Structure formats: structure tokens, C-alpha cells
């Protein structure tokens, strides 16, 4: 039916074999392609082989252990709320592309979603074509959001900590633990953690499961900050936040978003000041991160 344009069967096999095995995004594309030609219906979606755009996405990611809401608008909001957006330039197979009939930033106007398949292509359930198709990305002016609906499985260090800002934390370090030239006074001073530069609003994740010990909104050197008690004398601190999403006494999972990057307190720019304390003694976080 022209879904594969004019591809020969061996080209289709080649496309499958080129997908990296075991990567969640590539697996999402495989699953989406397995539904090519399935009929489109909003009313009958989920019955037999019927699907619509958001049900296809929900079905694919449920098989990969990710539970997404049932409409394109709610899926977009879920991804934004959980810090799972990406720039268009970062699109990789398995990422989601959202279209809006009024590109005005309102979730309720998101009307379509598809699974990016790499190479400028998308797998989506098309109402106009009446079935699941594989085609070129379309209507770039109405594309309003790009997301990766799962966080990369975080690497864990031997101490059980994960990075609060993701795997590439080493490239974000702007100031090391120990002595340094104070950026505000120019004088040599101690530094009780490491600074990780990131844009305002970036999600800060709990480095390990634990209980939120303190949440402070005040004119402290740390600005808005929180500490998490992980048991066994291990405590982590997250400073200069623009906002804090948890409360004292709350239990958190490793990797759960607890705050947003900011520049509150004694700070010269948006970054996370991250500390590791063992029995009250400040340690070099580099020795604890993966």
C-alpha cells in the first residue's frame, strides 16, 4: 500500500538490522513498525488492531515498561512535567514528536504524536491515511515538542550514587571540591562540594533513595537548598535551586526529580552545588559519583 514507499524487502530487512539492539529507543521504533497498516480509529482504538496516534505511542512504550497517559496532549504534558523534553537537533529513534493545530504553547492544542524513526522519518497512526504509516516528518511549523519518554537508565557508582544531573556530569563541572579561587571575592577559599553548570530549570535528581532531611528557602549562601538522608551516615546536599519539588520528611527514590537548577543564594550563574557528607564530614563528590 505504499507505506514503505518503494522499498524492496531486503532494504526493509536492512533497516531493521541497522537499529541498535537492546536500546529502548530503537526497540520503540521496531514495535511501531510492527503495527504498520493497522487501521486508524479513535472510537475503536485498543480493540483488535485498531489504534490512533496516542494509543500507538502508549502501546509501544507500555511494552517497554513506560506508562504514558492516553492522549497526545496528556503525553506531551507528562514529558514536560518530568523533564523529558529534548531539542529537535537531538532527535534519536524512539523519541516522540508532537504537533499542535495552534502552536501557542498550550497542551490542550496538541492533536498528534508520532514516533521518530531516524533519518527524518516518523511512524504514526494517521487519521488522513486511515492507518499506521512510516513517512517523512511533516508540517515542521506545527511541530511543537520533542521528547524522550524515558530517562536513560542511570549509571550507579560503587557507593550506590547516581549523578543528580545525568551521565554527562563530568562535562558540567565548573568548580571542584577543596580549595579554589572564590568567584565572588577572587580570594582563595575552601569549597565544600562540586559545582555543575546547567541551564535554569534543569531537573535535579536524587542521587540515591532516602528521606528529605531539610528544605530551606532562605537567604543562605546555598540559596534554596535541600538535603537528603540516605541512611548509614550518608547525606547529599543540592544548592542554589530555582525551585524545590519535595518537602521535609518525604521519601524519594533514586533518580526522582527533587528540584530545579537555579542561581539563588551566593551564586554567579545557574548551576547545582552538590555535596556528599559522611557522618557530617564533607567528602569529594567525585569519589562517590559513577
Q: What is the pLDDT of residue 48?
A: 95
- Cα–Cα distance for residue pair 130/51, rounded to 1 Å: 10
Both 121 and 178 in a single domain?
no
Domain that holds residue 100: 9-147
**3 part of a folded domain:** no
**Residue 188: band (very low, low, confident or very high) from pLDDT cuts 50, 70, 90:** low
Q: What's the mean per-residue pLDDT of the chain?
A: 86
Instruction: Look at 133 and 27; give whichever has higher pLDDT.
Output: 133
Q: What's 201's domain CATH number? A: 2.70.70.10
Same structural domain, 142 and 188: no
Count of domains forming the chain: 2
Are residues 201 and 102 part of one domain?
Answer: no
Top-confidence residue, 5 or 99: 99
Q: Do 228 and 280 have their domain in common?
A: yes
Residues 13 and 126 in one domain: yes
**Rounded CA separation 69/75 (Å):** 5
Mean pLDDT of 132-147: 93
182 domain residue, yes or no:
yes
Query: What is the 3-class SS of 22-63, one letter each residue?
Result: CCHHHHHHHHHHCCCCCEECCCCCCCCCCECHHHHHHHHHHH
In tens, the pLDDT along 198-246 reads 989 999 999 999 999 999 997 778 999 999 999 999 999 999 999 999 9
18 and 137: one domain?
yes
Same-domain status, 71 and 191: no
Q: Are strands 271-278 and 281-283 parallel, antiparallel or unpaired?
A: antiparallel
- pLDDT tens profile 69-121: 999 999 998 888 777 888 888 888 999 999 998 877 788 889 999 999 988 99
> Residue 108's pLDDT is what?
85
pTM over 0.95: no
Domain contains 43: yes
Q: Distance between CA atoms of 19 and 10, rounded to whole angstroms?
A: 15
Q: What interhelical angle do 53-63 and 72-81 show, nearest 10?
A: 50
User: Across residues 126-146, what is the average pLDDT?
Assistant: 93
Helix (H, G, I), strand (E, B) or coil at 189: strand
Query: What does the pLDDT look like over 259-281, one tens digit per residue?
Result: 999 999 989 899 999 999 999 99
Residue 64: pLDDT band (50, 70, 90) is: confident
Of 116, 147, 178, which residue constitutes the final position of a domain? 147
d(CA 19, CA 13): 10
pLDDT reading at 12 higher than 50: no
Q: What is the pLDDT, as a whole number, of residue 169?
A: 86
Query: Do 70 and 193 have their domain in common?
Result: no
Do 49 and 120 belong together in one domain? yes
| CATH number (domain holding residue 127) | 3.90.1720.10
Q: What is the mean pLDDT of residues 34-60?
A: 96
Same domain, 69 and 107: yes
Same-domain pairing of 212 and 280: yes
Q: Given a cut of 70, is residue 43 above it in pLDDT? A: yes
Amino acid at each position: 500500500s505504499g507505506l514503505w514507499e518503494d522499498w524492496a524487502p531486503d532494504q526493509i530487512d536492512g533497516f531493521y538490522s541497522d537499529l541498535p539492539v537492546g536500546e529502548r529507543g530503537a526497540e520503540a521504533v521496531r514495535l511501531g513498525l510492527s503495527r504498520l497498516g493497522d487501521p486508524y480509529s479513535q472510537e475503536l482504538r485498543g480493540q483488535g488492531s485498531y489504534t490512533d496516534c496516542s494509543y500507538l505511542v502508549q502501546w509501544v512504550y507500555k511494552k517497554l515498561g513506560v506508562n504514558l497517559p492516553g492522549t497526545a496532549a496528556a503525553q506531551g504534558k507528562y514529558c514536560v512535567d518530568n523533564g523529558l523534553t529534548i531539542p529537535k537537533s537531538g532527535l534519536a529513534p524512539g523519541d516522540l514528536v508532537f504537533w499542535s493545530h495552534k502552536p501557542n504553547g498550550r497542551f490542550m492544542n496538541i492533536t498528534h504524536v508520532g514516533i521518530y524513526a531516524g533519518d527524518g522519518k516518523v511512524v504514526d497512526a494517521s487519521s488522513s491515511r486511515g492507518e499506521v504509516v512510516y513517512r517523512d516528518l511533516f508540517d515542521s511549523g506545527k511541530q511543537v515538542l520533542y521528547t524522550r519518554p524515558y530517562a536513560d537508565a542511570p549509571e550507579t557508582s560503587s557507593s550506590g550514587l547516581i549523578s543528580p544531573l545525568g551521565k554527562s556530569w563530568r562535562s558540567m563541572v565548573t568548580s571542584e571540591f577543596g580549595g579554589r579561587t572564590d568567584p565572588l571575592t577572587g580570594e582563595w577559599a575552601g569549597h565544600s562540594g562540586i559545582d555543575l553548570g546547567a541551564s535554569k530549570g534543569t531537573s535535579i535528581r536524587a542521587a540515591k533513595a532516602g528521606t528529605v532531611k531539610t528544605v530551606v528557602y532562605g537567604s543562605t549562601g546555598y540559596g534554596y537548598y535541600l538535603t537528603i538522608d540516605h541512611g548509614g551516615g550518608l547525606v547529599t546536599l543540592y544548592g542554589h535551586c530555582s525551585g524545590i519539588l519535595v518537602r521535609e520528611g518525604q521519601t524519594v527514590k533514586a533518580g526522582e526529580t527533587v528540584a530545579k537548577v537555579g542561581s539563588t543564594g551566593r551564586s554567579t550563574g545557574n548551576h547545582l552545588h552538590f555535596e556528599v557528607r559522611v557522618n557530617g564530614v564533607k567528602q569529594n563528590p567525585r569519589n562517590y559519583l559513577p
